[in-house]
Amino acid sequence: MNARTKLPDLSHLWMPFTANKQFKADPRMLTGAKGMYYTSADGRRILDGTAGLWCVNAGHCRDEIAQAIAHQAATLDYAPGFQLGHPDAFEAASAVASFMPEGMDRIFFTNSGSESVDTALKIALAYHRARGEGQRTRLIGRERGYHGVGFGGISVGGIGPNRKAFSGALLPAIDHLPHTHDLEHNAFSRGQPAWGAHLADELERIVALHDPSTIAAVIVEPMAGSTGVLIPPKGYLERLREITSRHGILLIFDEVITAYGRLGAATASDFFGVKPDLLTMAKGISNAAIPAGAVAARREIHDAIVNGVQGGIEFFHGYTYSAHPMAAAAVLATLNLYRRDRLFDRARELSPAFEQAAHSLQGAPHVIDVRNLGLVAGIELQSRDGAVGARAAEIFQKCFDRGLLVRYTGDILAISPPLIVEAGQIKEMFDTIGAVLKDVR
């Protein structure tokens, strides 16, 4: 920390997903951002290799989004979403629907990915009840899945530390598919691994165990990000879609990370050519300028719930800030930017160079796998004996010291830059990581 920078009192803030004592002993502060760069408290430019937290897809502090938010704040700062509406909420829903797969044009707004997941799970349960199949209450997630931090999300999620402290209060009717990560068969795959589609067949065993008539939904990330960039094997998602459709089970894609260009398409559903029944989103929907999220539902699901009630409230769910006016303004401005600047096309065109740069780290010290898809790469490191995550944590710090922000989970580094990244900046990211790898034991 630069001596000229006066630190605020750090004692009051309880930081999320952070080693609080360690951070406050040696804080890393960001004080500004523009385009591809953060500014640190000591005045250095930090190249953003993670789009913030997978979310600043259009780059930082875009004038168009900032101006839309400011105008909305001065015009209509808040409007209740219960029994009242405001025009931007409906316009934002129409804009989101235009980016979704065909027929998935009913949009329920939330404020985060966690809320989107819990909303989608409740929609699934409400749908089956509206159709007279209220016994369908079981939900199927996947090992190593991350679906936010609501009780629904951590129940269907499959990351042990996220579940451990709350295990006694998780939802009871839950099961999990196996994850798809297998270094023996898939190490250093480029794009989708060739091995692993058969792992989707494990759903048939779970269905037989519980009886398909009791299962409401299966939820997966099409590409798992927060757990360490797990790429779906070829044919895997197609097989999940076939099994769920045959048994009348809803398929939910958690696209909080993959929606809005991360793979070079509007959604991972479009990228893979597999359409779910419900699709969760957040992060890139507003370029993270204002907290926002949503669930896109197939029209038939919406209609079954809404038309299943003769009068009054059809779906007892919502948030004080659903379709908040400033969030709606940010969503409209963000989606306009994506379309105007062809950012999804840009991501797709940059993907081959990004893949090549990522795999240049094969053979670097400590690297046991590199995997990639679109503008996402995961670099898996050999863990130190008895200290899982310590090597990646050290690399994270050293990269930050050298002017690059990366993300890590356990001993896996994740790179997912804003879609405005330049080819030279891609090279700089992986060159920096390569240099740091040589500098750690």
pLDDT of residue 181: 96
Q: What is the mean pLDDT of residues 125-132?
A: 98
With a pLDDT cut of 90, the percent of the chain lying above it is 98
Cβ-in-10-Å burial (0-12, 13-18, 19+) of 9 comes to exposed
Residue 224 has pLDDT above 50, yes or no: yes
What does the pLDDT average to over 215-227?
97
Q: Checking DSSP bridges between strand 174-177 and strand 215-220, what pairing results, if any?
A: unpaired
Which pLDDT score, from 0 to 100, does residue 234 have? 98
> What secondary structure, in 3-state letters, does 27-50 show?
CCCEEEEEECEEEECCCCEEEECC
Q: Is the pLDDT of residue 121 over 80?
A: yes
From CA 330, how far away is CA 293, in angstroms rounded?
A: 11
pLDDT for 136 equals 98
Distance CA 218, CA 356 (A): 34
Query: pLDDT tier at 393 (50, 70, 90 boundaries)?
Result: very high
Closest CA to 131 of 245, 220, 249: 249
Q: How confident is the model at residue 3 (pLDDT cuts 50, 70, 90)?
A: very low
Q: What does pLDDT average to over the chain? A: 97
> Which domains occur in the chain, in start order?
20-58+342-437 (3.90.1150.10), 66-340 (3.40.640.10)
Q: What is the C-alpha separation between 412 and 144, in angstroms, rounded?
A: 13
Region 332-336: mean pLDDT is: 98
Q: How confident is the model at residue 6 (pLDDT cuts 50, 70, 90)?
A: confident
pLDDT at position 7 is 87
Q: 420's torsion region: left (phi>0), alpha (psi -120 to 50) or beta?
A: alpha
**Exposed / middle / buried, residue 171 (Cβ in 10 Å: 0-12, 13-18, 19+):** middle
What mean pLDDT is predicted for residues 128-136? 97
Task: With a cut of 90, say whether residue 2 has pLDDT above it.
Answer: no
CA–CA gap between residue 279 and residue 241 (Å, rounded): 13
CA dihedral for 103, 105, 109, 111, sign (positive or negative): positive
> Above 80 in pLDDT, residue 174?
yes
Is residue 217 within 8 A of residue 182, CB to CB? The reply is: no
Please say whether the beta carbons of 290 and 324 come within 8 A: yes
What token pair was written down for 332? 């409209």
Name the nearest CA neighbour of 91 among 118, 70, 68. Answer: 68
What pLDDT is attached to residue 5? 60
Q: How many CB atoms lie within 10 A of CB 116?
A: 34
- pLDDT, tens only, 266-292: 999 999 999 999 999 999 999 999 999
Rounded mean pLDDT, 220-238: 97
**What is the C-alpha separation between 84 and 319, in angstroms, rounded?**
13
What is the reported pTM? 0.97
